[in-house]
Amino acid sequence: MVTGGDPAGTNGTDPAGAFARGWAFLRRHVAVLLALAAGGLLTVLVNVGSTSHDRAEAGIASEAWEYWLWEGSSFLVWSLAIPFIGALALRLAARPWWQQLVVHVPALAAASAVHIAGMVALRSAGYAAAGSRYVFDWGMDNLLYEVRKDALSYAIIVVAFRVSARLFAVAPSATATPAAAHAATTPFRLEVRDAGRTHWLAAADIISAEAAGNYVELHTVHGALLHRATLATLAALLAPHGFVRVHRGRLVRRDAVRAITARSSGDFDIELADGRRLGGSRRYRAGLGSPANGAAEPPGRG
């Protein structure tokens, strides 16, 4: 997964790791996914009944399968889009509202375009299989009508995931942040439950961490893992073990930093020991101090 806030993101993610995180996301949010699916199916039933009644009252002849194809095609396309919209909503949760709006508006436009194109393709295929032809009105009035409906569907999905994340977020316990002296004498292990497995990570196993709503994506020597906690909680927990904040949504382990490159804006890029490059914000630059492990910092503003 990639977090924003600056041009640099998370690179080097292998397809298998991306699939594993996607599967973990679906399992973790199965309740909200099922709730949205149930609501969608109910909407399909209501719309089929209403359309059938209205067209019969108007004397318009149509086959029953047409109503199911119209509503079912729309439901299917939205069902495929729900996980992506939900993941985006959670990833943006920690950002200011205006930054969320800047991302959600084009995301809505893209989702609506995919929905319209997808449902038209499915309906055309269905009509072709029945020996008929489906005609969609591509006029501006009809497109705006579809976009308005899509905006409501998009908003419902975003709100559902945000509410779910708040309801099921884990509150930090009294022992979640050990004192530095205790951490120095007691072997540190972070319990991470991801995709049905429990991992016990030493501090040296963790390279960096990035905010993902009420979750944190850990980049470890074992691959990427999702951990249900806030970045603030994790930052306090890992601070005694050499982790510093380099961005409002990102932590790194200082001795995993290979090089730091300054930007003209005052922000900076970090190259990690595993080859990934992350972006850092100038307000957090002081936390890194001098790069560890002999990492070189090219001349420039820091």
* Residue ranges of the chain assigned to CATH 2.40.50.1020: 180-287
pLDDT tens string 65-99:
999 999 999 999 999 999 999 989 888 877 788 88
Question: What top-level class would CATH report for the domain 180-287?
Answer: mainly beta
Q: How would residue 193 be classed by pLDDT, with cut points 50, 70 and 90?
A: confident
What's the chain's length in residues? Answer: 302
Q: Say which range, 24-28, 146-150, 253-257, 288-292, has the weakest mean pLDDT.
A: 288-292
**Residue % of the chain over a pLDDT of 70:** 81
Name the percent of the chain lying above pLDDT 90.
37
User: Does 19 score more than 90 pLDDT?
Assistant: no
List pLDDT tens digits, range 130-175.
999 999 999 999 999 999 999 999 999 999 988 887 776 544 443 4
Whole-number pLDDT of residue 165? 76
pLDDT at 21: 63
For range 267-291, the mean pLDDT: 83
Residues 6+ positions from 103 with CB-CB distance below 8 Å:
4, 88, 92
What is the predicted pLDDT for the residue at 148?
A: 96
Residue appearing with tokens 């396309």: 77
Contact criterion met (CB below 8 Å) for 258 and 271: yes
- What percent of the residues of the chain are helix, what percent strand, and what percent coil, each to the nearest 5? 55, 20, 30
Is pTM beyond 0.75? Reply is no
Question: Do 261 and 271 touch, CB atoms closer than 8 A?
Answer: yes
